[in-house]
Amino acid sequence: MRIMALDLGTKTIGVAVSDATCLIARGIETIRRQGTVRDFARLTEIIKTEEVTTIVLGYPKNMNGTIGERAHASEEYRDLLKEHFPDLEVVLWDERLSTVAAEKVLISADLQRKKRRKIIDMMAAVVILQNYLDHQRR
């Protein structure tokens, strides 16, 4: 049983998966979005390989807690995930500042800007998932 987190962007989807004990998040990849059919085909491969039982989808609320355009896009994507993967639990998780936190980690690792751009969404998914896992343990 593993948990997968997705950081949904307009051009990419960052993917992270927990370890078997659901304590630690690790980055898997950044999927370049190519349409729902192709995106879901890749997600299906990851779900099967990693034995995923739950999907945590980043829910980008505004800083004041309101729901904006990006959050509505996540709600719609959640519905698609539930349709396509009816046996999996799909959870929306507040992701405010996850990309900022991921960027700080990558900067502190002294990664060049060009390389950071390639993995920032995956790292944001790691932050989202780790926050979710930590919350579940409390």
User: Which helix (H) or strand (E) element contains residue 31?
Assistant: strand 25-32
Residue 112 scores a pLDDT above 80: no
Buried b (16+ CB within 10 A) or exposed e, 99-118: bebbbeebeeeebeeeebee
Question: What's the confidence (pLDDT) of residue 62?
Answer: 67
93-108 per-position pLDDT tens digit: 988 656 656 566 656 6
2-137: CATH number: 3.30.420.140
Q: What is the pTM of this model?
A: 0.86
13-72 per-position pLDDT tens digit: 999 999 999 999 999 999 999 999 999 999 999 999 999 999 999 998 766 777 778 889
Average pLDDT over residues 114-128: 76
Question: What's the confidence (pLDDT) of residue 65?
Answer: 72
Question: What's the confidence (pLDDT) of residue 53?
Answer: 97
